[in-house]
Amino acid sequence: MINRHAVWAETVGTAFLLVVVVGSGIMGEQLAQGNVAIALLANSLATGCGLYFLITLLGPISGAHFNPVVSLRAFLLQDLTAAMLSAYVAAQVVGGVLGVWIAHLMFDLPILQTSAKLRTGVGHWSGEVVATLGLILTIGLGERFKRNEIPLLVASYITAAYWFTSSTSFANPAVTVARSLSDTFAGIAPVSVWGFVVAQTVGLALGMGLLRLLRPCASAGKSH
């Protein structure tokens, strides 16, 4: 059975996330006057803040995935049915595209466009593996030890990952697809999308494997 409220929350949440990511990228680039570091700083801070309020407010409705990788993990853990997984992924992709278009509209740019910014090669792909792996660890360990702080944990991780990963931490297939439709600071060329999505899937698998290794056992911490 499909929970319509949850699907709408995923659509709206992912749309707002892309408005934040693309809109802050456009604004940051305009104000930075060619200084890419300042533009990235603006982009990362806005994204982290946006994630915090979106996860906090929409988490009780849908879990605030906004990310097919996160939804796939929930399905593999049997926290999401196959029907809901399909609905979530569709909502995330549709919401992401709508968010990109809204950002273009706000900044008086052509609504329909594609990015020319190539992001490819082992460096970028390994960056996406690391970014996604870290996100899965953040969520998994947060659920285990700091459930009430997950919004802050995810927001702070993504803000940091903008800076320590070579790919600037997309870590999200829906966001990757949506950003290919924006020839702005946050864009990614459509031809580069497949490499990122594959890397993100690898990051998910590695992250889930590491979470198993980090699972505390009954004897942990006891003296022998």
DSSP code at position 219? T
Domain ranges of the chain: 4-213
Band of residue 132 on the pLDDT scale cut at 50, 70, 90: very high
Q: What is the pLDDT of residue 219?
A: 46
Q: Is the pLDDT of residue 222 over 90?
A: no
d(CA 211, CA 44): 26
Q: Do the beta carbons of residue 118 and residue 193 sit within 8 Å? A: no
pLDDT tens across 174-204, in order? 999 999 999 999 999 999 999 999 999 999 9
Q: Average pLDDT of 52-69?
A: 98
Q: pTM of the entire structure?
A: 0.94
Q: What is the pLDDT of residue 125?
A: 98
What is the architecture of the domain spanning 4-213? Answer: Up-down Bundle (1.20)
Q: Give the 3-state DSSP-derived string for 141-186, with helices as H, strands as E and coil as C.
A: HHHHHCHHHHHHHHHHHHHHHHHHCCCCCCCCHHHHHHHCCCCCCC
